[in-house]
A and B are shown apart, each in its own frame.
Chain A
């Protein structure tokens, strides 16, 4: 795994932690460290609205656009990193 991928993942993890904190998700503490395998929905009970809101924050932070169609098979931090890396490369 290259440095760029790791940087993207780390940034997603930080953004996710910050989003969970501001959107009142206390389960972050119980979950512990966010990893590449962390699942946005099953680990943190993010509802569909919150997932979409978080996507918007990722778009703005990375200055990319995420096609909503690409989200149907996106569940984890690793999945998101793949999408964002691809968008940054385009």
Chain B
């Protein structure tokens, strides 16, 4: 078999995905009009699949901060922080993030993926054990794999399954790391962090929570699900991204453990990557300020999320277990989900399609991410578009 022959399988997958007319993995938004609107194939389209939970990508203060940073500090850093130096804004943002989460230590990475890869690869070593939620994001899997640690999965959000594995680890449990997300991005369900924290304390383990989709969305001050569930101060490491609620690109880890400051010496994804550009750091700094000072953004987001969730359920669609800014509709077979997604796009609603094996089970899903920037009319238009396609799912039944 030749080196390039393996791409035949990828070609076949692409052809299967494109059978409805559009490749769901290759949608081009020709023009961005606002956080929730764009032009796709010449059509005005509601963006309901962009993780732009607070709509801050077009926030005037964030844009001004980014513009000022470009003018005063230039377009890029042209190197890694370890080899080529940090800008003072990088260090300031690390302190800012630590303060936001009420801990002393923070670290900024160039992407959310790098944050997970870099934190886990440094925290874990060969011979360590990590217990990973089965539905955890690929970046968490990859970070664990990069570390060389022994990786054991527990059933998604299943506290009993987690405890069973802690018991099986025996003495190793007190040195193991438990890895979960706050809000899971496919079904929009939250981790039972109160119970998970109790277990990690019972067995003496450490806990890392990825708040990528929950930052800015959950908790009194927008710190995420751990804050919302009242256990943030008992979590050892919180990782997250700038590319969702914060409307930029990058990632972070914060911790009460001073060892986080040493992670940078052991983290190849931190050491060997160019640091974030000044405009990204500046707009992220401003976005954190917006999250703190404008709780009404969260209120609008939750109102929109509640309406979309209710609208889909009233139509008889099967959604996730709880209202969240991620609203997924279960569509069963890929043969139903593909035309459904295509027709939504043609009706001017952009969503995310998930088919096996990328979905958490054997079903296909269409996922909407709700934004505080969606108007009530846009939310109703999304519901109407789904309603008009209900017949496709009934044909399958």
Contact = CB atoms under 8 A, between A and B. Distances in A.
A70 B316 CA distance: 43
A52 B359 CA distance: 13
A73 interface: no
Interface stretch (B76-84, B151-159, B335-343, B389-397): B151-159
B77 to A, nearest CB: 35
B357 interface: yes
B150 interface: yes
Interface in A39-88: 47-50, 52, 55-56, 63-69
A68 B152 contact: yes
B356 interface: yes
Contacts of B356: 47, 49
Contacts, number: 39
Most buried by A among B145, B150, B165, B359: B150
9 contacts: A47-B356, A49-B360, A55-B153, A65-B152, A67-B150, A67-B151, A68-B144, A68-B151, A69-B148
A56 B357 contact: no
A25 to B, nearest CB: 10
B168 interface: yes
A50 B153 contact: no
A66 B145 contact: no
Nearest to B126: A69
A49 B151 contact: no
B362 A68 contact: no
B84 to A, nearest CB: 34
Contacts of B148: 69
Nearest to A49: B357
B153 A52 contact: yes
Contact of B357 (A23, A50, A68): A50
B168 A52 contact: no
Interface of A: 23-24, 47-50, 52, 55-56, 63-69
> What are the nearest 6 A-B pairs in CB distance?
A49-B357, A47-B357, A68-B151, A67-B150, A65-B152, A48-B357
Given A47-B356, A48-B357, A56 B151 contact: no
Given A47-B356, A48-B357, A24 B362 contact: yes
A55 B151 CA distance: 13
Contact of B134 (A23, A56, A67): A56
B337 to A, nearest CB: 16
A50 B359 CA distance: 11
Nearest to A68: B151
Contacts of B134: 52, 56
Given A47-B357, A48-B357, A65-B165, A56 B153 contact: yes
Contacts of B145: 68-69
Contacts of B359: 49
Contacts of A55: 153
A66 B151 CA distance: 8
Nearest to B358: A49
B168 A65 contact: yes
Contacts of B150: 67, 69
A24 B362 CA distance: 10
Contacts of A69: 145, 148, 150-151
Nearest to A63: B168
Nearest to A23: B362
Interface string B114-152: 000000000000000000001000000100110010111
Most buried by A among B141, B153, B359: B153
A18 to B, nearest CB: 15
Contacts of A64: 168
B152 to A, nearest CB: 5
A68 B362 CA distance: 21
